[in-house]
Amino acid sequence: MSTLLHINSSPLYGRSVSRQLTGAFVTQWKSSYPDGAVVDRDLNATPIPPVTAEWVGAAYTPEEARTPQQKELLTLSDVLLTELELADEYVFGVPMHNFGVPSVLKLWIDQIARVGRTFSYADGTPKGLLTGKKATFIIATGGIYDAQTQMASFNFVEPYLRSVFGFLGVVDATFLTTGGTAALNYGQDRDVFLAPHLQVVQSHAQSI
């Protein structure tokens, strides 16, 4: 049975383009995998603390040597990591915030980028441990940041996510970007605007 981990990071909920598109992805995926399981993780509804020195110390302490306090510090991280490890595929809804990823997504990444679980330096070189996974990143940007455009160098979302997840072993990654969503704030018809992007998302979900 296939398992899809569905992660949203937009705070806009009903007005969110990325949430609507990941929802369409999940619907199509369920149609393709009627016996599959979907695990939903809403990062805006998940209190995620920033990493502290104590957290780092706990993460680098061998599991069998951790104190009860260290184990408690890693409880949320363990839950989030289990979701990642058990899933076969991931779909992320990612709005661009100030040219980068939302702060809640960065907090989540800090919790799951853990030595011995998602990467290792066993032979002195980094090795990603999340192998054999597929990831789809559905990105929504207010402006247009496509390659060869004037604003392309301001887009730190895809390069960052590609680098982080590649480091963790997720190299089968697809990036689907819906640019120009700011037009929806100035009278652009939402259904007309989203129609081609929904088609792309649904086609991709059907093909994997």
Which pLDDT value is given to residue 1?
A: 81
174 touches 135 (CB < 8 A): yes
First to last CA, the chain: 15
> What span, in angstroms and rounded, lies between the C-alpha atoms of 89 and 208?
9
Give φ, ψ of 8 to 5 degrees.
-115, 145
Measured CA to CA, the distance from residue 8 to residue 92 in angstroms comes to: 6
The architecture (CATH level 2) of 3-207 comes to: 3-Layer(aba) Sandwich (3.40)
Cα 66 from Cα 58, distance rounded (Å): 7
56-100 tens-digit pLDDT: 999 999 999 999 999 999 999 999 999 999 999 999 999 999 999
Phi, psi of 202 (to 5 degrees): -65, -40
Give the chain's largest Cα–Cα span: 59
The whole-model pTM stands at: 0.96
Predicted confidence at residue 151, as pLDDT, reads 95
40 φ/ψ angles, rounded to the nearest 5 degrees: -100, 130
In this prediction, the residues of the chain whose per-residue pLDDT falls under 50 are none
> What is the reported pLDDT for 123?
83
Quote the percentage of the chain above a pLDDT of 70. Answer: 100
